[in-house]
Amino acid sequence: MNVLTDNLSTYWEGFLGTVELTVYSSLLALVLGFVMVSFRVAPVASLRVFGTVWVTVLRNTPLTLLFFAVLLGLPRFGLVLPFKVFAVLALGCYTSSFICEALRSGINTVPTGQGEAARSLGMTFAQTLSAVVLPQAFRSVIPPIGSTLIALAKNSAIAGAFSVTELLGTYKTMSELGYNIVWTFAWIALGYLVVTLAISALFHELERTWGVAR
């Protein structure tokens, strides 16, 4: 029991590390996912191909392999950054492919007639997109994006095994100090539950406010 009280600062540091990783990777994933989905629905064939390849390859890559390639591979090209940045890069790119697909299925739920009606009213492409298509698509993608980001938070544990400061990595310090290993893991598990439940609650709230009435 005193594992937590004795090492509050270590746990807190690890917890913050996990939260930080999750937040930054989520932002990267959302931005990249948005870019990729705009490629995938673009009228330009080469961009569509690029988007499709990006999504197909990253969705089928084991995340450990991606971490391995990014954290240990990119330095060979003279790109030396802190491990945390590499971890955000790997997690963000991996998750962006799932975000992209969630967004794309969201856009596909908007009936063609909506766009046609907007254009027949004389709206430009930008107006159609911002006032008609995206608001409707946004509502239906809240749940899938929420579950993708929860998966991201859980996947961030892999970064700990590549010596980035985060929650799972704290077990090493604890076991070196000779604390009870079962309790150590119980508190780690609780930390992850807090993160995932917080994301879940956030998206429930978003869904309640913005979601499609069913």
Least distance from other proteins to the Cβ atom of residue 6, Å? 18
> Is residue 10 a contact point for other proteins (CB under 8 A)?
no
Specify the 3-state DSSP secondary structure of 89: helix
- Using the rule CB under 8 A, give the single segment among 8-16, 20-28, 75-83 that binds other proteins: 75-83
| C-alpha closest to that of 192 among 9, 21, 8 | 21
Least distance from other proteins to the Cβ atom of residue 85, Å? 19
> Is residue 110 a contact point for other proteins (CB under 8 A)?
yes
Q: Which of 152, 164, 165, 179 binds other proteins (CB under 8 A)?
A: 152
Least distance from other proteins to the Cβ atom of residue 53, Å? 10
- Using the rule CB under 8 A, give the single segment among 6-14, 20-28, 80-88, 95-103 that binds other proteins: 95-103
- Using the rule CB under 8 A, give the single segment among 5-13, 20-28, 81-89, 148-156 that binds other proteins: 148-156
For the segment 112-141, give every residue that binds other proteins (CB under 8 A): 112-116, 119, 125, 128-129, 132-133, 140-141
b vs e for 23-52, b when ≥16 Cβ sit within 10 Å of the residue's Cβ? ebbbebbbebbeebbbbbeeeeeeeeeebe
- Using the rule CB under 8 A, give the single segment among 4-12, 20-28, 81-89, 156-164 that binds other proteins: 156-164
CA–CA separation, 203 and 116 (whole Å): 31
Site string for other proteins, 31-70 (x = CB under 8 A): ----------x-xxxxx--x-----xx-xxxxxxx--xx-
Q: Which of 32, 102, 103, 164 binds other proteins (CB under 8 A)?
A: 102
Size of the site for other proteins (CB under 8 A): 78
Q: Are 101 and 29 in contact (CB under 8 A)?
A: no
Residue 111 phi/psi, 5° resolution?
-65, 145
Q: Which of 16, 81, 131, 189 binds other proteins (CB under 8 A)?
A: 189
What's the Cα-to-Cα distance from 104 to each of 34, 40, 41, 161, 207, rounded to whole Å?
9, 8, 8, 33, 18
